[in-house]
Chain A
Amino acid sequence: MEVYINGISAISPQKTYDNSLFLDEITEYSGDFLKVFKPNYKEFIKPNLLRRMSGIIRMGVVSARMAMQEANVENPDAIIVGTGLGCMTDTEKFLSSLINNKETFLTPTSFIQSTHNTVGAQIAVMISCNNYNMTYVNQNIAFETSLLDALMMFEEGKLENVLVGGLDEIISEIYELKKSINAWKTEPATISNLLSSKTRGCIAGEGSTFTVLSSNKTEQTYAKFIDVFTIYKATEDSLKAKLFQFLEKNNLTINDIDVIVTGNNGDYESDEMYNVFTESYFPKSTQVVYKHLIGEHGSASAFGYWLAAKILKTQTIPEIVNYRKKETKKIKNILVYNFDSYFKNNYSFVLLQEA
């Protein structure tokens, strides 16, 4: 049983929603946190509906539609969404009204839209999809848990297409709260110097990446989705053991990994961990990074997945993400590795292969 990536759409702080481009135009940071570079949402959602949608709902619904359009799928067999923090705009709106108005004069819209499964639900309503619908909310591995669920579905039965997404939004209130617990960089950074920073903290971003996984290979196919695993807590040894087990299960050794995509985000402590890990176990692989372009959030690693798929399809690695070049002939296997840099937990590995 093979699982193919037939559609993918990333709305991110870079102009990535246009799949004909591949990080051709880069937008430098401005402001405290990175907001998405928006496509024309009106092309996908009627204005009267759009009006009521928060940022995360817009980017989620639109990137989902774009991915389905690319894969030529109208009714997926399942819709599985992962989000770290969920619908922050509406949660904050309802919560602050609740507090400021002392539980009076409240309206339902923001309460309804604050539930974590709102995006998955709205996609289902829009396309009249009565099939399996799920939302995972386990922080930075929610997207990978969604991928795992999809993989299990393919293993369990004959289905054709599954829509999987990972998304998170950043709003100033959340930025400020996390600032108070030292999550972010305190000194100004640029794309080119972020990953050589010697301080803790990262840059806040947001984004939505949706993908269509299929049992059929088509001309659109980007790559094969082979496998995924996540671990809550690990020591260096237990992580190594799990990684080797994972590769072995998929008939691979570390030498077969041509590219490793890591979640370096400017937090020097975790970046060091990524780099030491890569040096130790993947000395011959090219190391690719992406969070200097899109910032950090609960679903940032979904962008890493997007990047891996694009690299496999185009067989090119844009300079701006090429962190440690090694000689690469054909790119066949890519491993996407991520963990939570603040807590040093929630590790994930996603394995993609040329189709």
Chain B
Amino acid sequence: MSNIYITGLGIISAIGDNCAQNLDSLKKSKSGIKAIKFLQTIHKNDFVSGEIPYSNKELANIAGIEDFTKHSRTSLLATIAAKEAFKHANIDINDGLRTGMVSASSVGGMDVTEDYYLSEASKENTNYIFTHNANNHVEVICDMLDINDFSATISTACSSSANAIMNGARLIKTGRLDRVIVGGTDAMSRFTLNGFNTLMILDKNLCTPFDENRKGLNLGEGAAYLVIESEEAVIKSNKKVYAKVLGYANANDAYHQTASSEEGYGATLAMKQAIESANISPNDISYINVHGTGTPNNDDSEGNALKNIYGDNVPPFSSTKAFTGHTLGAAGAIEAVFSVLAINENLIYPNLNLKNNIKKFKFKPVTQLLENQKVDIVLSNSFGFGGNNSTLIIGKIK
């Protein structure tokens, strides 16, 4: 079984434009959730979100893209993160190694489409028809990085980018690619804000994951990419490695389109199977980065799943969604990046905003930043609509 090494990271979220800034905010317990500034919506004053504090023009500047009007915000975010990961991994695209890209998004370029569809402006400007699709950002990045061969785009709601990471790892393990840039992206849009609002699962104030009185989630936006490589590729290029992808699993709750089963059946399966695939035991996990959106349903279901596996003795765990908001298709990758950082920096992140622990669970999330921790193996959950439950296991290089 060949090892899958993580050789590069890239991220942009509400708590930072790159890895270093994100890490800094995590260490300072500094959340990025605040009032909505850029998204044009009648709900501007109704909800807080993990919106990234830049206009599209400013994002394009950071991304090194000349004409911001030709791209969706989703694509701009993805470009920034992908470029950082690619650079961090020191990739020479012409070194003969087979390189691919697997990315994910839940709404693609909807942020632009919703501005143009049915409007007068659409008669002149048809570019949004091209930027709409979930895979548009993949083409933009592949063109920029000169990845011509394999590319794929996944869309499984909130588990999307965790699945992208899994798919990339499998492409390497089955001998089809030597390295893959994997991750996902999603930008804020009226479509998703209003969509989630109709489901009544948004919290008007700062979300409180795993709190007894939690009201719902805060939406966020962002993008994150990891470069993963085969053992042979790493040896050949004498690459610096940051962590290993030890295991993964994808299971389905098969319960309801949007709600998770109370007993967390799909979540339990995903975690169990991921742990098995990594050839470890549940107690080998140093830290769990839970999906923890802060909705009554998710945290209950996920909590039950944790109980199914660990009883009352759950390893240190926290949700980082109170830092970034729920970044939908990007969540799996953003949290995978946080997992790698936790391993390398010996940190366990705090579960912010917690006032009252969920009564029925004897276990509680970590509420203060823990430093100088031995973080060898991290389990990261991403659960989405459609019962799509994915779990990743990331481990330290020993």
Contacts and interface: CB of A to CB of B under 8 A. Distances in A.
A115 interface: yes
A111 B388 contact: no
Given A130-B266, A133-B387, A137-B133, A103 B156 contact: no
Nearest to A180: B126
A180 to B, nearest CB: 6
B388 A99 contact: no
B174 A232 contact: no
Contacts, number: 172
A79 to B, nearest CB: 8
A134 B114 contact: no
A231 interface: yes
Contacts of B110: 95
Contacts of A114: 195
A108 interface: yes
Interface stretch (A121-129, A217-225, A304-312): A121-129
A233 B148 contact: yes
Nearest to B253: A130
A98 B114 CA distance: 9
Interface centre among A79, A115, A132 (most CB of B within 10 A): A115
Contacts of B117: 95-96, 99
Interface in A90-125: 94-96, 98-100, 102-104, 106-108, 111-118, 120-122, 124-125
Nearest to A105: B198
B156 A152 contact: no
B252 A133 contact: yes
A120 B266 CA distance: 15
- The A interface, classified by DSSP as helix, strand, loop or mixed, is mixed
Interface centre among B130, B152, B251 (most CB of A within 10 A): B152
Contacts of B152: 136, 138, 145, 230
B154 interface: yes
Interface stretch (B30-38, B163-171, B316-324): B163-171
A116 B171 CA distance: 23
B142 A132 contact: no
A95 B135 CA distance: 19
B134 interface: yes
B257 A95 contact: no
B129 A115 contact: no
Interface string B255-273: 1111000000110010000
Contact of A124 (B194, B197, B254): B254
B167 A155 contact: no
A94 B134 contact: no
B388 A117 contact: yes
B54 interface: no
B114 A108 contact: no
Nearest to A128: B254
B194 A103 contact: yes
A121 B385 CA distance: 8
Nearest to B149: A231
Interface string B137-163: 011001000011111111111000001
A139 interface: yes
Interface in B321-364: none
A116 B155 contact: yes
B199 interface: yes
Interface string B177-220: 00000000000001100110111000000000000000000000
Contacts of A116: 106, 134, 155-156
A133 B174 contact: no
Given A95-B117, A95-B191, A117 B156 contact: yes
A181 interface: yes
Contacts of B255: 125
B151 A232 contact: yes
A152 B170 contact: yes
A232 B99 CA distance: 12
A72 to B, nearest CB: 20
B118 interface: yes
B296 interface: no
Given A131-B252, A180-B126, A95 B113 contact: yes
A130 B265 contact: yes
A96 B118 contact: yes
Nearest to B386: A121
Contact of A139 (B133, B190, B195, B197): B133
Nearest to B152: A145
Given A133-B156, A178-B129, A99 B151 contact: no
A282 B250 CA distance: 41
A99 B139 CA distance: 28
A137 B388 contact: no
A155 B265 contact: no
A181 B122 CA distance: 12
Interface in A158-184: 177-178, 180-181
A185 to B, nearest CB: 18
B254 A130 contact: yes
B170 A156 contact: yes
B42 interface: yes
Nearest to B101: A232
B198 A134 contact: no
B87 interface: no
Identify which of A106, A116, A127 gathers the most chain B CB atoms within 10 Å of its CB.
Answer: A116
Contact of B388 (A86, A133, A152): A133
A8 interface: no
Contacts of B269: 130
Contacts of A231: 148-150
11 contacts: A104-B42, A106-B195, A108-B198, A117-B155, A124-B387, A152-B171, A152-B174, A177-B126, A181-B126, A231-B149, A238-B148
The 4 nearest A-B residue pairs measured at CB: A121-B386, A111-B195, A116-B155, A108-B198
Given A115-B157, A138-B138, A152-B174, 17 more contacts: A86-B134, A95-B114, A103-B42, A106-B198, A108-B195, A111-B194, A112-B257, A121-B386, A125-B254, A129-B254, A130-B269, A133-B386, A137-B154, A156-B170, A230-B152, A232-B142, A234-B148
